[in-house]
Amino acid sequence: MSTQISAQAQDRSERPRPSLGRTIKNYVSLTKPRVMELLLVVTVPAMILAARGLPNLWLVLATLIGGALSAGSAGSFNCYIDRDMDRRMKRTANRPLVTGEISDRNALIFSWVLGVVSVVWLLLTTNWLAAALSAAAIFFYVVIYTLVLKRHSEQNIIWGGIAGCFPVLIGWAAVTGSLDWPAWVFFLIIFLWTPAHYWPLSMRYRDDYANAGVPMLGVVRGRITVGLQVILYTWATVASSLILIPVADMGWTYTVIALATGAYFLVEAHKLYSAAIRGQEGSPMRVFHGSIVYLSLLSVGIAIDPLLPF
* pLDDT for position 37: 79
**Dist. CA 232–CA 219, nearest whole Å:** 19
Would you tell me how many other CB atoms lie within 10 Å of the CB of residue 123?
Answer: 17
pLDDT digits (tens, 9 = 90+) for 20-38: 788 889 898 898 888 777 7
Confidence check: pLDDT of 192 > 90: yes
* pLDDT for position 169: 96
* pLDDT for position 93: 83
For residue 14, what pLDDT band results from cuts at 50, 70 and 90?
Answer: low
Taking residues 212-239, what's their average pLDDT?
88
pTM of the model: 0.88
Confidence check: pLDDT of 50 > 60: yes
Taking residues 220-225, what's their average pLDDT?
84
For residue 15, what pLDDT band results from cuts at 50, 70 and 90?
Answer: low
Q: Which domains does the chain have, with CATH numbers?
A: 26-177 (1.10.357.140), 180-310 (1.20.120.1780)
Q: 159-196: b or e for each residue (b if 16 or more CB lie within 10 Å)?
A: bbbbbbbbbbbbbbbbbbeebeebbbbbbbbbbbbbbb
* pLDDT for position 287: 93
* pLDDT for position 94: 86
**Dist. CA 310–CA 292, nearest whole Å:** 27
Residue pair 66/102 in contact by the 8 Å Cβ criterion: no
Confidence check: pLDDT of 188 > 90: yes
Q: At what angle do helices 20-30 and 57-81 cross, to 10 degrees?
A: 90
**Dist. CA 100–CA 87, nearest whole Å:** 11
For residue 298, what pLDDT band results from cuts at 50, 70 and 90?
Answer: very high
**DSSP-assigned letters across all residues of 271-302:** HHHHHHHTT----HHHHHHHHHHHHHHHHHHH
Average pLDDT, the chain: 89
Non-local (6+) Cβ contacts of 58 within 8 A are: none
**Dist. CA 86–CA 91, nearest whole Å:** 8
**DSSP-assigned letters across all residues of 42-73:** HHHHHHHHHHTSPPPHHHHHHHHHHHHHHHHH
**Dist. CA 269–CA 21, nearest whole Å:** 41
Confidence check: pLDDT of 13 > 50: no
